[in-house]
Amino acid sequence: MKKYSVVLVDLDGTLSDPKIGITKSVQYALEKMDIVERDLDKLETFIGPPLQVSFKEIYGLDDALINQAITYYRERFTDKGMFENQLYQHITTLLEHLKKQGYRLAVATSKPTVFAEQILNHFNLAQFFELIVGSNLDGTRSAKGDIIADVLAYFSEFNEDQFIMVGDRKYDLIGANENHIDSIGVTYGYGSLEELVDAKATYIVHSVNELKEILT
């Protein structure tokens, strides 16, 4: 594997497992809109893509209802949901090791930047990242390709072949491909192996330790 200089890392499903917080907040929003979904497992598809995309594709909501659903979602998420979350095992060790190896690190997430910053500070991970880029609260800059492009612009001294994106869903890999950078798909998150293969991940790993090995 070639040597990279900048590693972009997704948050949900890659650094931490946010299932409880996200799915319960979606469940709360749906209940507010008279949609009952008792099985949290069925709401796992909300982990990864922008909320606007999920509410539209899964429940067929129009723009006005999507905005209302997101408002309800954030009521619960900002109160408790963002911290109903746990780091995947060995993540802190991985980030420490990458920093010691001289990598420049950035978070590239579809989650609003303000929430990503709070979560990373909660887990004491913000110290490892030079840059944290997410979506805006008004729903703009939610496409992963746009988020990655902003990270690349920040690290403008590097060529495209010096970047690599790490993520668990097709959106991470598609965004990487749109920006002509390599990618690593991780199967321990919420994307299936088939999804990662179809999205043309440059590499695929099955654990945090394997991710460490492939980068170092």
Instruction: Output the CA angle 72-149-73, nearest 5 degrees.
Output: 5
- Across-strand partners of 184? 166, 203
Give the helix/strand (H/E) hosting 79: helix 63-79
Give the helix/strand (H/E) hosting 66: helix 63-79
Say what the pLDDT of residue 139 is: 86
Is the CB of residue 123 less than 8 Å from the CB of residue 89? no
Question: Which residues carry out catalysis?
Answer: 10
The CA radius of gyration of the chain, in Å to the nearest whole number, is 17
Low-confidence ranges of the chain (pLDDT < 70): none
Residue 165, phi then psi, degrees to nearest 5 = -105, 135
Say what the pLDDT of residue 151 is: 98
Give the closest residue to 74 by CA, choosing from 24, 37, 36.
24
Q: Using a cut of 0.85, tell me whether the model's pTM lies above it.
A: yes
Residues in the chain: 216
Give the helix/strand (H/E) hosting 51: helix 51-59
What angle in degrees, to the nearest 10, is found between the helix axes of 63-79 and 51-59? 120
Which contacts of 96-100 are long-range, i.e. CB under 8 A and separated by 24 or more positions? 96/128, 97/212, 97/216, 98/7, 98/128, 98/212, 98/215, 98/216, 99/128
Per-residue pLDDT tens over the stretch 45-85: 999 899 999 999 999 999 999 999 999 999 999 999 999 99
| C-alpha distances in Å from residue 146, one per residue of 29, 93, 97, 108, 164 | 27, 29, 28, 10, 15
Is the CB of residue 50 less than 8 Å from the CB of residue 106? no
Say what the pLDDT of residue 168 is: 97
Say what the pLDDT of residue 102 is: 96
